[in-house]
Amino acid sequence: MSPSDESSSARPRLSIALTLGLVGLLLVMGSVVFVFRARAQEALAAQSAVPSRATDTLEQPIAFSHRVHTTANAIPCQLCHTYARRGPVAGIPSVQRCVQCHLTITPDAPEIARLMAFWEAREPIAWLRVHDLPDYVRFTHKRHVAAGVACETCHGDVARMDAAVQTAPLTMGWCVSCHQERSASIDCLTCHY
Ligand code: HEC
Ligand code: HEC
Ligand code: HEC
Ligand code: HEC
Ligand code: HEC
């Protein structure tokens, strides 16, 4: 048998093996997509039944009032939440930023005396988190701010709150329905690692 005969008889077998392999791969891919879809539908159904959470005011370490700063004194949100337009997190201001103003603004008020105690001890203020997505969710402020979505759309009327409270449900259905309205991506990997 010459080498050329051998390869010509092997070719049909090779293509059958390839076809079977391909069909198998498609079946596996199909069922992965199917399971993923089913899980997403379950997740959506489960979530529409869950009421919004964390709407109670938390007892923060200092009685900080958004209303006093933003409404009464017209300080813009992004003067304190500086990273909102630049990165994933909006950030909470450092003690230093508070002190820059309060060395001269109402330095004798009791809550400012507590602020200065943190400053002198070189200790950060342990603000309690209000919003907290699960770790498997990918979220970024930057893209939303760049697309012109206002802080209030997702956080409510913070300018009239004292301590911030959560007003939006932050469920998957909430995210996805705005993404659909605004023609933003609803690909699973947009929001999941
Ligand atoms: C599209 C909705 C949306 C918009 C618009 C938005 N946020 Fe957020 N924000 C969120 C979500 C969701 C979280 C929780 C993120 C997490 O847990 O990882 C959050 C968290 C925060 C936090 C907590 C600290 C942090 O960064 O995780 C601050 C402060 C904040 N947002 C301020 C702002 C400000 C100020 C604006 C406007 C400049 C803004 N946000 C716009 C949805 C939004
Ligand atoms: C850009 C300047 C500025 C920054 C930054 C700032 N504040 Fe203020 N703060 C003010 C002004 C103005 C008032 C209103 C003072 C008055 O009543 O006349 C105020 C009032 C207060 C009060 C009420 C004081 C009182 O009279 O009882 C507290 C508490 C306070 N701020 C805490 C903080 C904390 C904590 C931070 C940092 C997270 C901070 N502030 C950052 C300007 C600032
Ligand atoms: C003077 C500084 C300052 C300004 C101005 C300010 N914030 Fe805040 N913000 C804080 C501090 C301090 C906290 C932490 C205490 C709290 O949760 O209320 C906070 C908390 C928040 C949170 C909750 C963060 C979390 O833990 O999930 C949101 C949302 C928020 N701010 C949005 C806004 C928006 C929207 C504006 C403008 C309308 C604004 N902030 C203006 C200082 C500020
Ligand atoms: C009120 C409307 C709205 C809500 C609510 C919202 N988004 Fe978005 N999202 C947008 C818009 C608009 C864009 C920008 C799309 C673009 O830049 O083309 C975006 C973009 C994003 C991006 C970047 C997409 C990319 O292509 O890289 C991520 C990630 C994201 N959103 C996650 C979330 C998550 C997670 C939630 C819920 C916790 C959420 N979003 C809630 C409107 C919204
Ligand atoms: C626009 C953002 C966004 C997109 C797109 C998205 N998700 Fe989610 N998903 C979320 C958020 C936010 C949560 C967390 C909700 C919560 O904590 O209540 C979540 C939760 C989940 C959970 C957990 C549900 C539970 O109850 O434990 C699963 C599973 C899931 N998503 C699957 C998917 C699949 C599959 C897709 C694609 C078909 C998808 N997600 C697309 C934002 C998104």
Q: Look up the domain containing 80 and give its range.
A: 66-92+127-191
For residue 164, tell me if it sits in a domain.
yes
For residue 185, tell me if it sits in a domain.
yes
Number of compact structural domains in the chain? 1
Q: Report whether residue 132 contacts ligand 1, using a CB cutoff of 6 Å.
A: yes
Average pLDDT, integer, range 168-185:
97
Cβ(84)–Cβ(91) below 8 Å = yes
What integer best gives the mean pLDDT of the chain? Answer: 82
H helical segments located in the chain: 3-48, 66, 77-80, 95-102, 110-120, 141-146, 151-155, 172-181, 188-191
Instruction: Find the ligand nearest to 184 CA.
Output: 4
The model's pLDDT over 29-65, given as tens digits with 9 standing for 90+, comes to 545 444 445 555 555 544 443 333 445 678 899 999 9
The model's pLDDT over 105-163, given as tens digits with 9 standing for 90+, comes to 999 999 999 999 999 999 999 999 999 999 999 999 999 999 999 999 999 999 999 99
Cβ(164)–Cβ(67) below 8 Å = no
For residue 86, tell me if it sits in a domain.
yes
- pLDDT at position 66, please? 97
CA distances from 41 to 35, 87, 174 (A): 10, 30, 14
- Which protein residues touch ligand 2 with a CB less than 6 Å away? 62-64, 68-69, 73, 75, 93, 97-98, 101-102, 105-106, 109, 111-112, 115
